[in-house]
Amino acid sequence: MLKEDELAKLRKAGEVSGAARELGMSLCKPGAKLYDVAQEVEGYIREHGCGLAFPCNISKNEIAAHYTPSCNDESRFEVGDVVKIDCGGFLDGFIGDTAGTVEVGSNSRREIIESSKRARNTVAEFIGDGVPINEIGRAVEMSVKRDGFKVVENLCGHQITQWDLHAGLSVPSYDDGNTDTIKAGMTVAIEPFVTDGGGYVINGKPGNIVVIARDKEVEDPKTKEFLDYAKGEFHALPFCARSCDFPKAELYVKKLLRLGVLSSFSQLIEVNKGTVTQHEYTFYIDGARGEITTAP
């Protein structure tokens, strides 16, 4: 179980992350730049005393996850875009991870958007100490199937620990037969991805998100200075050049990718180019009922 001061940090990170999510979703208007929305979301997280647990993901339509706008991204939202805003902040390594989906300027995809929200909220009603992982997956899949859609089977919820966004347990959105249980003291992100496509994602192009992959000596002094900055600012968490307060950050990210110090995340694309929606809460398991740390 977390100590009281640790739990306070987890709750603060969750509160800020949840508010940032709602802000980001409210800014997804026709003609708005993805870059501007990402900057606003991340600025809110930092202005409210938290670091960035990962870059603000703004993934549209068939892109399920792992896209954030680059420094020179001029792309804008169009009417009918189905947009996932996935963001997170940390406080002393305690992380809030949360996401929501919004349709830009229209209301034709309301049912599929509500389906991922309904599945997440179904889990919120019973997740707690002793609940088997496969029961969570079964509940998600049953809810989504009733709505006439499919879960994305190879995207999972996950346990979170201090400084580690994906730690320990994975929580699939279907019954995988895993009867291991959620334990008191765990922090768990539940994030059903729902689609009208094939139910799987495949890797696409890099989505501008990187992580430090290996500890390697860097000879160039300025590149080493940037790497030291990234370690201090983001620790071992994912980041992007746009989020760096460092001159020519994109240049140094590219250099470190070539050196193999950084690894890049691929965009995750629905296999049949189906629309994907996502809703995510972080839960702290403090007993028979999990506490939502990232509620609005």
Answer positive or negative: Cα dihedral of 105, 108, 110, 116: negative
Given the residues 15, 62, 153, 280, select the one marked as catalytic.
280
What are the percentages of helix, strand and coil residues in the chain, rounded to 5?
A: 30, 30, 35
Query: d(Cα 119, Cα 143) in Å, to the nearest integer?
Result: 6
Catalytic residue from among 15, 191, 196, 291: 191
The number of beta carbons lying within 10 Å of the beta carbon of residue 107 is: 8
Output the six-digit token pair for 250: 């994109």
d(CA 260, CA 215): 9
Catalytic residue selected from 15, 81, 97, 153: 97
Instruction: Kindly name the residue from 15, 62, 81, 86 that is annotated as catalytic.
Output: 86
Provide CB contacts within 8 A for 164, sequence distance 6+: 236
Identify the helix (H) or strand (E) that includes residue 151: strand 150-151
Active-site residue, 97 included: yes
Q: For this structure, is 279 an active site residue?
A: no
Active-site annotation holder among 40, 129, 147, 166: 166
User: Is 42 part of the annotated catalytic residue set?
Assistant: no
Catalytic residue among 158, 270, 279, 291: 158
CA distances, 86 to each of 154, 223, 267 (Å): 17, 29, 13
Give yes or no: 92 in active site.
Answer: no
| Whether 191 is catalytic | yes
Write out the catalytic residue numbers. 86, 97, 158, 166, 191, 280
